[in-house]
Amino acid sequence: MKLPNDPVILLSYINTKLRDEYPDLEELCKSLSIQQSELEGKLSAIGYSYDKEKNQFK
């Protein structure tokens, strides 16, 4: 699956998936076959980091 290129749309997409389908970021990345570090890097570039307790990027 191809992820959105725009980081803001990517943020929305990932947070929706985390909320609705996955218990944590690791499971999402495994299921979508994406590198967790790469995803976190893209979202940290716009000021977001993963919050384990809330299971979302904030």
Integer Cα distance of 46 and 39 in angstroms: 12
- Residue 13 confidence (pLDDT): 98
The answer to whether 11 and 48 have CB atoms below 8 angstroms apart is yes
pTM (predicted TM-score): 0.94
Arithmetic mean of pLDDT, 37-52: 98
Residue 54, pLDDT > 90, answer yes
**For the chain, what percent of residues have pLDDT higher than 90?**
97
Q: What's the rounded mean pLDDT across residues 15-44?
A: 98
pLDDT at 30: 98
Q: Where exactly are the structural domains of the chain?
A: 7-57
Query: Looking at residue 2, what is its pLDDT?
Result: 87
